[in-house]
Amino acid sequence: MKIITIIGSGLIGRSWALVFISGGFSVKIYDAQPGLASSALHSIRQQLEQLQQRNMLRGELSASQQGALLSACDDLKQAVEGAFFIQECVFEDLAVKQGVFLDVERLVGSDVILSSSTSCLVPSNVFSKVQHKSRCLVAHPVNPPYLVKLVELVPHPETCSSVMDTAHALMTQVGQVPVRLHRELDGFALNRIQMAVIAESWRLVQDGVISVKDVDLVMSEGLGMRYAFIGPMETMHLNAPQGLGDYMQRYGPGIQRVLSSFGPTPDFFSDQAQSVITEMSGLIPPEQLSARIERRDQLLSQLAQLKKDH
């Protein structure tokens, strides 16, 4: 039985566990805070039952079969024993992550793959204290990974291509959709693109061009409709009779003109920025957040089903 160890049993650690057991892997969960790994186990098993009831369970195994693949350890040595792949999911804090990999490397063979879930730290920093860096990578999930399947695989400058291949094959096997970055870069790909969207949306609202509600509709009822199925490159390719080259001949100068008017990075902490936050909070007050999160996850699960069928 192939074993994967999850280090850190918070939101992302639990989600990774669900993903890996759906692919039939044995998963050991470890958390620095005693008792947390066991309570994660309990909550994942409950989630499995709920997913099964709602017909949303991934993989070939039943909820109880998947639940039986899980175990919790309060001892790091026990947790990593026998694992071929370690997915770190601790706080987004460089020193904490470096400490975890330092401890883990002392306990495992040099062929065990060390993978970090970090959203914002580059691999050369996360793995700076690891000796055998050729087995290190970032596997950055999107929340919630069980419903949004993209995983960005980001190499350390010393990462072996066979390690990237193994991680790619593993992610594919468990039903995620991996993409490879050819080199590390601050923000990776997903967040760089997301931040470009955030910057322009924020600017348009803050400059009084459009409301918070309407800028969200631009995405949810406009761009997002096609982006759930085809990306920006294919969108352009399909939007001119002769494809992308033709599209750029027709629209490239206009794109360059508009891009040059974008201006500097918005200040997210000014008085004007506060009015954007107030407008958003007026639309969805804090007490409605958990209901909206539940609605988001239900919609994402329906979308995931639709994508599976097409």
Least separation in angstroms between residue 97's CB and ligand NAD is 7
User: What is residue 28's DSSP assignment?
Assistant: E
Q: Which is nearer to ligand NAD, 9 or 159 (CB)?
A: 9
Long-range contacts of 98-102 (CB under 8 A, 24+ apart): 98/125, 98/126, 98/127, 98/128, 98/129, 99/129, 100/7, 100/8, 101/126, 101/127, 101/129, 101/130, 101/136, 102/129, 102/130
DSSP 223: I
- Rounded to a whole number of angstroms, the minimum distance from the CB of residue 210 to ligand NAD is 27
Nearer to ligand NAD, 21 or 142 (CB): 142
Nearer to ligand NAD, 137 or 236 (CB): 137
Nearer to ligand NAD, 100 or 212 (CB): 100
DSSP string, 146-167: TTS-EEEEEE-TT--HHHHHHH
Q: How far is the CB of 11 from ligand NAD (least distance, A)?
A: 4
Site for ligand NAD, rule CB under 6 A:
7-13, 31-33, 36, 89-92, 96, 100, 117-119, 140-141, 143
| Least distance from ligand NAD to the Cβ atom of residue 197, Å | 17
Name which of 144 and 155 has its Cβ closer to ligand NAD: 144
φ and ψ of 275, to 5 deg: -70, -30
Please say which residue, 76 or 212, places its beta carbon nearer to ligand NAD: 76
Q: How far is the CB of 32 from ligand NAD (least distance, A)?
A: 3
CA distance 164 to 92: 23
HSE of 159, CA atoms in CB hemisphere, 13 A: 32
| Residue number of the CB atom closest to ligand NAD | 10
Burial degree of 87 (CB within 10 A; 0-12, 13-18, 19+): buried
> Which residue shows structure tokens 């947390």?
36
Q: How far is the CB of 40 from ligand NAD (least distance, A)?
A: 8
